[in-house]
Structure 1
Amino acid sequence: MTTLANNPSSQSTSVSDAAAQNLANKTKTAPQMASITPRWLVHLMSWVPVEAGIYRVNQVVHPESVKIQCDNLDESPLAQTFVDYEREPKEYRLKAVQTILDVHTRVSDLYSSPHDQVAQQLRLTIEAVKEHQENELINSPQYGLVNSAAESQRISTLGGPPTPDDLDRLITKVWKQPAFFLTHPEGVAAFGRECTRRGVPPATVSMFGSQFLTWRGLPIIPSDKVPVENGKTKFLLLRTGESRQGVIGLFQPGLSGEQGMGLSVRFMQIDRSAIASYLISLYCSLAVLTDDALAVLDDVEVEKFHDYAPVYR
């Protein structure tokens, strides 16, 4: 007869970790997606609601022709004038960023604790749509910032990393109440290195709970959507707001299934294969109200490290 004292398994002093974990509830995070960014550009833009998806920009023709005359002591007649407008003003139409999310009802029915599967699928898909929106705001051939700058508002570096002189040149192009610079994170780092080398490390400012480098009091906003090609990127400087004749974002309010600014989520159907489908739509565009609201610095070198030591004053 085998006794408990003679049983080899009784020599263990405690249940093993592996066995104990079979009875424990594991804490699970919601799905993490590395491609999600802060999208500061969208937060800093001034957004204007658009009726019927169309925004028309009326501009004055030849503003220099408006005649103004000071009062004359000899009481001669004052100048008469009028302000003329463009006959065919430019119109901006909202563009759609859309996708269809499919979720099998078996998945949502059986595997929605502790995290609701449909809610998480919608959350992550909406984040991807918003990331695509920011990319379009910067790079769209029709309305993106990079392609909307007038030729007179584009300048190039003389080669090398971005310098304080380069950013000052941008300020001369957008000198009427500029709001912020925009560049790739590598552009921010390159500018910081160059300023440190020159002994003029830029000040920082706190916004949205984060620290940003500044130049002349203007924050330098990073976005990984600003293109980097062959080791070179761009710096942009914007004036924002409709009242300032700046750059504005456009969106459609009052959408069916509205979940945010210009964003809607609509349930479509459950097909015969038990797949539930949801339509996610985001309607937006961007308008540059006057040419001097946007300037672009091209050919900024960000990858080459020069063989010099920092110079401190």
Structure 2
Amino acid sequence: MPEGQARVALGDVAARQLANATKTVAQMSTITPRWLVHLLQWVPVEAGIYRLNQASNPDSVEVACPPPRGEDDLPSTYVDYEENPREYFLTSVGTVLDVHTRVSDLYSQPYDQVAEQLRLTIETIKERQERELLTNPGYGLLTNVADSQRISTLAGPPTPDDLDELIKKVWKEPAFFLTHPEGIAAFGRECTRRGVPPPTVSLFGSQFLTWRGIPLIPSDKVPLENGKTKFVLLRVGEKRQGVVGLYQPGLAGEQSPGLSVRFMGIGRNAIASYLITLYCSLAILTPDALAVLDDVEVDRYHDYQPVYTK
């Protein structure tokens, strides 16, 4: 210490050189809850093919309630099947992850670099999976809804009347509404404007708005374009003849249903490669298992005039 300079305590900057910083794993803002994947029933398929058999002309099946005078008074009938049923083929979402061995050897404390690279890449693949379940041209919900099950709102923002129209279309044990978070916010504002605030329900430890007891589930994978989005109402499960997710079981290197990670080896440039693949699809078992409300305006400044009803 130079002569004449006052003695001071150890400073923060110098002290930090001896301290251990508490570190987090890498955070990634693109990760979402992916509620659609959680709420679907997932059905294993063989050889990547799911054949959807359906009855042909179900209204032609004849039954009767005659007085008890014997079997001669009963009609004769049978149930025919479609001769060319639709088949769904699993599609893949995947990538090859490269990790330099020097990185994994030297910098894997306190977190394993390979494990963290795999975790973040798998999360991104699962985000893409949910998007495909909604918008894939071959099997996506929004691209395979029957024309008779598609309606458009007349009022602009989503209203309770609009959601009631969806319930009319999917009245056999509807499971949940699905829309963009902006759509849920717009519906909440419209309900407040009408003086009918929607109740909430707790699912998976989170709170969701409901309408007629049916939860409104948010997903940022539902398209939002030019201030407009869509509302979807689904019935789910094979027993209910609803919507089901499809996956391939028993994959080599299976990490979770339909997802595999396989080590591809180390190249001459010391790069270790891992093949990550997720196989999935989706099937709408009957047309009335799904309905879509199109052209829903979510602009918060849309003609807001409070109108309260008793």
> Which residue in the other structure is 2:214 paired with?
218
Pairing partner for 2:40 from 36, 39, 45: 45
Moved over 4 A (4+): 73-76
Matched, 1:36 2:18: no
| Residues 156-186 of structure 1 deviation map (CA, whole Å, 9 limit, x = unaligned) | 0114100000000000000000000000000
Cα distance per residue 1:200-239 (max 9 Å; x no partner): 0000001111110000000000000000111100000000
Which of 168, 175, 182 in structure 1 is aligned with 2:171? 175
Q: Check if 1:21 corresponds to 2:16.
A: yes
User: What is the alpha-carbon distance in structure 1 between the residues aligned to residue 155 and residue 92 of structure 2?
Assistant: 38
The question of whether the paired residues in 2 share the 8 Å contact of 1:231 and 1:304 is answered with no
Deviation at 1:310, TM superposition (A): 3.1
2:83 is matched with 87
Supply the distance in 2 between the matched residues of 1:50 and 1:178 (Cα, whole angstroms): 25
Say which SS state the counterpart of residue 287 (structure 1) adopts: strand
User: Matched residue of 2:50: which SS?
Assistant: strand
How much has 1:303 moved relative to structure 2? 1.6
Checking the alignment, whether the CA contact within 8 Å between 1:185 and 1:222 is kept in structure 2 is yes
| Residue 208 (str. 1) matches residue 204 (str. 2) | yes
TM-score, scaled to structure 2: 0.97
Residues 98-140 of structure 1, C-alpha deviation per residue, up to 9 Å, x if partnerless? 1000000000001111111001000000000000000000110
Which residue pairs with 2:194 in the alignment? 198
Matched, 1:67 2:57: no
Given candidates 250, 254, 258, the residue that maps to 1:262 is: 258
Hey, what's the Cα distance between the residues in 2 that align with 1:309 and 1:86?
A: 52
Name structure 2 gaps, 5 residues minimum.
none
Identity %: 70
Counterpart secondary structure, 2:143:
helix
Shift of 1:309: 4.4
2:156 maps to 160
* Post-superposition offset of 1:8: 4.1
CA contact (8 A) 2:170 2:288 kept: yes
SS in 1 for 2:33: coil
CA contact (8 A) 2:186 2:300 kept: no
Query: Can you list the C-alpha shifts for 1:253-294, whole angstroms capped at 9, x where unaligned?
Result: 110000001011000010000000000000000000000000
Alpha-carbon distance, 1:308 to partner: 3.4
Structure 1 residues 15 and 197, CA gap change in structure 2 (3 angstroms): same
Alpha-carbon distance between aligned partners in 1 of 2:296 and 2:305, rounded to the nearest angstrom = 21
CA distance in 2, matches of 1:8, 1:256: 74
Give distance in 1, aligned partners of 2:52 and 2:7. 81
CA distance in 2, matches of 1:77, 1:197: 60
**Is the contact between residue 184 and residue 234 of structure 1 (CA under 8 Å) also seen in structure 2?**
yes
Aligned length: 308
How far apart in 2 are the matches of 1:169 and 1:263?
A: 38
**Shift of residue 307 of structure 1?**
4.2
1:202 maps to a residue whose letter is P
In structure 2, distance between residues paired with 1:305 and 1:164: 19
Report deviation, 1:70.
1.2
How well do the aligned residues superpose, as a CA RMSD in angstroms? 1.2
Unaligned runs of 5+ in 1: none
CA distance in structure 2 between the partners assigned to 1:12 and 1:143 by the alignment = 74
Instruction: Give, in whole Å, the separation in 2 of the partners of 1:279 and 1:69.
Output: 59
